[in-house]
Amino acid sequence: MAYSIGEVSNMLNISVSTLRYYDKEGLLPLINRTSGNIRVFDETDIECLKMIECLKTTGMQLKDIKLFFGWCEEGDSTINKRYELFLEQKEKTEKQISLLQDALDRINYKCEYYRIAKERGTTNDPGLKEELAMKFLSQNK
Amino acid sequence: MAYSIGEVSNMLNISVSTLRYYDKEGLLPLINRTSGNIRVFDETDIECLKMIECLKTTGMQLKDIKLFFGWCEEGDSTINKRYELFLEQKEKTEKQISLLQDALDRINYKCEYYRIAKERGTTNDPGLKEELAMKFLSQNK
DNA sequence: GGTTGACCTAAAGTTAGGTTAAGGTTGTAT
DNA sequence: ATACAACCTTAACCTAACTTTAGGTCAACC
């Protein structure tokens, strides 16, 4: 299957200018062109873009994503590098999720705090923190 | 308790220049100064900074964090705004965690993929994807 | 009293990851 | 054959969140 840049943009929800930017930065080295110089994306390019999105979600920089695709093209001699890259990214992602979970705990506390403050019309109510302490025993603020 | 900017920097692992930048941007409106114009942080400022870190972790921009602190200073009339801000941030954070979890699933697949490819010395082994399919039944790539 | 390290400001510089603008080409429907 | 949307390139611009630089002050010890 072949897709135009506009079709890919709609399918993956990535702007056309971003797709061209990725191409310019060398993240999509395999893209074909028509005789009229127009980009033609195929399934492989779509898979690449999905991987870019995945790695970007986990906080990897474009230059490192580019490095990874470079290794893929170099072939089997880089398997170990690629393996270690994913092991490292797994660690980082687990750490990020854990940080976000901690932040979510604090936010949930604040949601309860302001829900009760809203009921009472004030944050100055002396019983507010004590009441919350009963619900969130493991937290101190 | 009173702390210097350097002490706070060490305690919270935020660089001195970043602390001054936050102050300049109006995120720490309550900070005291000595007669010699030197910043003196107290427990309240530390709590503010921890909240800034928390909200930043969840992707909130500094200008919005500043808005929130502004509401805190305005008093009880803004309780509902603050409540809704945290409800919204809770949604966003849950969505982020879910996206990261999806990315982690793909990364775990790749870890297994490259672990086996490493064992075999090639990614071209015909049985590789089939073997992985047995482990990751719910995924298609 | 002088050196040293931590503090101060204002302003300029940096980085990543794009977006926008200007000017031109392609391809397709009428 | 002409209009028009969708494509192309290069280069400049943008934003957030810092960091760096330059030049100066403060406080404590020797």
Q: Got the DSSP string for A68-111?
A: HHHHHHH-GGGHHHHHHHHHHHHHHHHHHHHHHHHHHHHHHHHH
| Residue A76 contacts B, CB cutoff 8 Å | yes
Alpha-carbon distance B54 to B45, whole Å?
Answer: 14
For A110, other C-beta atoms within 10 Å of its C-beta total 23
Q: Of residues A128 and A49, which shows the higher confidence score?
A: A49
**φ, ψ dihedrals at A67, nearest 5°:** -55, -45
Contact B93, B58 (CB under 8 A): yes
Confidence at residue B141, expressed as pLDDT on a 0 to 100 scale: 42
What is the arithmetic mean of pLDDT over A119-126?
87
Q: How far is the CA of A57 from the C1' of D12 (A)?
A: 29
What is the arithmetic mean of pLDDT over A24-34?
92
Q: Which residue is nearest to nucleotide D6 (CA to C1')?
A: A6
Which bases of strand C have any atom within 7 Å of the beta carbon of a protein residue? 6-10, 16-20, 25-27
Q: Is the pLDDT of residue A52 over 50?
A: yes
Report the gap between the CA of A26 and the closest CA in chain B (Å).
22
Q: Is the pLDDT of residue B119 over 60?
A: yes
For A93, other C-beta atoms within 10 Å of its C-beta total 25
Alpha-carbon distance A1 to B131, whole Å?
Answer: 27
**pLDDT confidence of B138, banded at 50, 70, 90?**
low
Strands A32-33 and B32-33, by their bridges, are unpaired
For B130, other C-beta atoms within 10 Å of its C-beta total 9
**Cβ separation B79–A55 shorter than 8 A:** no
Confidence at residue A138, expressed as pLDDT on a 0 to 100 scale: 55
**Cβ separation A103–B57 shorter than 8 A:** yes
Alpha-carbon distance B13 to B15, whole Å?
Answer: 6
The minimal CB distance from A57 to the residues B86, B103, B114 is found for B103
The token pair at A67 is 């490095």
**pLDDT confidence of A137, banded at 50, 70, 90?**
low
Q: CA separation (Å) from B20 to A81, B62, B64, B67?
A: 40, 14, 18, 18
**pLDDT confidence of B125, banded at 50, 70, 90?**
confident
Q: Is the pLDDT of residue B11 over 50?
A: yes
**φ, ψ dihedrals at B27, nearest 5°:** -85, -10
B61 touches strand D (CB under 7 A): yes
Q: How far is the CA of A5 from the C1' of D17 (A)?
A: 32
Confidence at residue B41, expressed as pLDDT on a 0 to 100 scale: 96
Chain B residue closest in CA terms to A56: B103
Alpha-carbon distance A99 to B116, whole Å?
Answer: 31
What is the arithmetic mean of pLDDT over B13-18?
96
Q: Is the pLDDT of residue B65 over 90?
A: yes
Q: Is the pLDDT of residue B128 over 60?
A: yes
Confidence at residue A134, expressed as pLDDT on a 0 to 100 scale: 80
Confidence at residue A140, expressed as pLDDT on a 0 to 100 scale: 47
Q: How far is the CA of B1 from the C1' of C3 (A)?
A: 30
Helix (H) or strand (E) holding B40, with range, is strand B39-40
SS3 A3: strand
